[in-house]
Amino acid sequence: GDEGSGTVIADRLIELLNASESEILVESAYFIISDELLQGVAPLLERNIRIDVLTNSLATNDVWTIHAGYTRNRKAMLLRGIRLYEFRPDASSCRQLLENDVLDCPDIKFSLHSKSVVFDRNVVYVGSFNINPRSRYLNTETALIVHSPALAERIARDIEENMRPENSWQVVLNDAGELEWHARTDGVDSVVPHEPDTSIWTRIKSYIFSLFSVEKYL
């Protein structure tokens, strides 16, 4: 049958990925990378192309099952050299982004909703397409791809601002090969050995669901 809009967008993004020469910055509310796509970006990483990804943390994701799908390949992404940042519900960038004077940042749970990718600070993708299989195979999606160094630089700076340790946890592997979440609050660095700002029950649910291969439906 005819390709859906999600498949067309995904194929175009893959073309842009393969054409990249130095840097790819990703901001996606939902981020589930398949084994196939992870293998596909391996040559880019071997060419020392930097890939930085900002997505929601378990604490900010409004669909914990999607976060579980993301965690299936989280360690594999880090081992490949992809840098991962997970947005904090208490991000200090809240005040810069919140336009509603009625609400105050401490009163709300802040989360990502945007979807954008910057390639070599030259080409920008923005749209409804999340980096997950559901967007590719099931949803109707829209996308805008713009060749503009000025716009690319502006969006890249916004993504990098949200990646700062005051706004996101950087997920890293420690010397023992275990996950850690690094952040900074009021100038003090912190390290958390589990999904931050979540209950043990939420972490257990996410872990159990991550054992099942249902990414295409997430």
For each of the domains in the chain, give its residue range(s) and CATH number, in order of start: 5-217 (3.30.870.10)
Q: Which two tokens stand for residue 127?
A: 């749209």
pLDDT above 70: residue 95? no
pLDDT digit string, tens, across residues 178-215: 999 999 999 999 999 999 999 999 999 999 998 886 65
pLDDT digit string, tens, across residues 110-147: 678 888 999 999 999 998 766 656 555 545 567 889 99
Angular region, 177: left φ>0, alpha ψ -120 to 50, beta rest: left
The rounded distance, in Å, linking the Cα atoms of 42 and 115 is: 22
Q: What is the DSSP string of 160-207?
A: HHHHSTTTEEEEEE-TTS-EEEEEEETTEEEEESSSTT--HHHHHHHH
pLDDT above 60: residue 73? yes
**Strand, coil or helix: what is 202?**
helix
- pTM of the complete model: 0.87
- Quickly tell me which residue has 């073309």 as its tokens: 15
